[in-house]
Amino acid sequence: MLNVKDVVANLDVVREKLAQRANAETLSQISELAGLRSQRIQEIEALRYRQNEENKKIKAIVAEFGPKSEQMAQARKGQKELSEQIKGLDPLVKEVEEDLSKLLMSVPNLPHESVPVGKDENDNVEISRWGEPPKMDFEPKWHDELGRDLGILDFESGAKIASARFTVLKGLGARLERALANHFLNTLTERGYTEIFAPTLVNTPTLLGTGQLPKFEEDLFKIGGDWDLYLSPTAEVPMTNLVSQTVLAKDQLPLHMCCYSSCYRSEAGSYGKDTRGYIRQHQFQKVEMVHVCDPETSYDELEALTANAEYLLQSLGLAYRKIVLCTGDMGFGAAKTYDLEVWIPSQNTYREISSCSNCEDFQARRMMARYKDSTDKKSKPKLVHTLNGSGLAIGRALVAVLENYQQKDGSVVIPEVLRPYMGVDRITP
């Protein structure tokens, strides 16, 4: 959520930046509402000033004419009228503030100055590549075909017991998913992360805090009945909200957390995309990373967070590329985002497996997540910066392992780092 004072004070700059994200249309309304709010607050302050002045006069009237005099009655009548005017304006100010808050909730974050300007994914900029795609002397199979042949991916049973885009993993497929999760968690905790296990049901304030509501409500699964609960779309939501309504000590920062969880998305905005196989599911597993830090170090933290996601890909020996998203392709709350895209042989292209973003103070303002320098007693709490990234999307990692390590005989070799978890070095038909 943007700071309304900064928006109004720098309207032209904000309009230019939001135009890069194709979302500048609400700024005029925000400016008008902010002006109306300021006007009504000034009216209230003027009335309160008159109240104070009348209070001073009342003391003199009591001294000269007495507390039950006609002059005193007139003075009290004037005070009552002023109080009623103030009471009448108070709800009007509250109404404007609520409308202003709703508008601000719909405005995306401003892009960092280093983000390339562009309209969509075609304008993203490749930063680097790691590894070489495997050279195969046979036509690589799609992961769904491999999974069926190996007896480890059961799409039909997933559709039967739930619906389309749900999948049952069996035998060594289930073990491979668990092995990937364990490897990612163990690696990240060895690199200094605190492991979190959080609820996968979250309430409205929690989703508002990280920006999923109100913007993306149609992509969420809501629990029926009297419950104010949704299935969490990502562990970023509960993890980041651990610091909501909190004032941290500066020396507690940075916080590095990771969490393994099931994630749930209706994919309302993705009809027709990736309907084949295990790429885009309504339920999927992910290990998520969240960093909370002071503003001075947040872009160093972004590089560190992204490097950890890259390390996980490298540990699996998977070729990938790193791109920086342009202004038109970034997520709602991000000021800057790196995507890591892993090589998928069957599609002869790179596909996203991790998205690492710096949200700066956009989420912190919504959550009232702050920090204070405990050595300076006069300092006021400041907003933290929050970052998040996949470390990694487990389903997509499983797809990448199956396709990149497939053999001509239909078997799949297990990457070396996963063998202690798997107990086998190969999955065979």
352 is catalytic: yes
CB 254 within 8 A of CB 292: yes
Q: What pLDDT score was predicted for residue 63?
A: 64
Q: Residue 404 burial by CB count (10 A; 0-12/13-18/19+): exposed, middle or buried?
A: buried
Q: Residue 192: what pLDDT?
A: 98
Q: Where are the beta strands (DSSP E) in 139-197?
A: 153-154, 168-169, 194-196
For the ranges 66-75, 136-145, 346-355, 385-394, which has the lowest average pLDDT? 66-75
* Total residues found in the chain within this entry: 429
Distance CA 287, CA 239 (A): 12
Residue 45 has phi, psi (to 5 degrees) of -65, -40
Which of 352, 365, 419, 426 is the catalytic position? 352
What is the pLDDT, as a whole number, of residue 67? 63
Query: In this predicted model, what pLDDT tens digit does every residue of 45-73 receive, in sequence order?
Result: 887 887 777 777 776 766 666 667 777 67
Reply yes or no on whether 366 is catalytic.
no
pLDDT at 74: 74
Average pLDDT, integer, range 125-136: 97
Question: Looking at per-residue confidence, does 64 or 224 come out higher?
Answer: 224
Catalytic residue among 178, 280, 365, 419: 280
Q: What is the mean pLDDT of residues 381-404?
A: 98
Active-site option among 21, 265, 366, 370? 265
> Of the residues 366, 370, 396, 403, which is catalytic?
396
Q: Please, what is the average pLDDT of the chain?
A: 91
Identify whether 101 is a catalytic site residue: no
User: Between these two residues, 208 and 93, which has the higher pLDDT value?
Assistant: 208
What is the C-alpha separation between 335 and 1, in angstroms, rounded? 12
CA nearest to 328, candidates 19, 14, 18, 21: 21
Task: Inform me whether the pLDDT recorded for 24 exceeds 60.
Answer: no
Residue 35: predicted pLDDT: 80
Contact indicator for 10, 102 with CB cutoff of 8 Å: no
* Spacing of C-alpha 105 from chain mean position: 13
CA distance 138 to 140: 6
pLDDT by residue (tens digit) across 327-381? 999 999 999 999 999 999 999 999 999 999 999 999 999 999 999 998 888 889 9
What integer pLDDT is reported at residue 50 of this predicted model? 79
* DSSP state letters, 26-57: THHHHHHHHHHHHHHHHHHHHHHHHHHHHHHH
The reply to whether 280 belongs to the active site is yes
Please tell me the predicted confidence (pLDDT) of residue 59.
67
Q: Of the residues 261, 355, 357, 390, which is catalytic?
A: 355
For residue 385, name the pLDDT band (cuts at 50, 70, 90): very high
Is 263 in contact with 198 (CB distance < 8 Å)? no
Q: Which residue has better confidence, 26 or 361?
A: 361
For 178-189, the pLDDT digits (tens) are 999 999 999 999
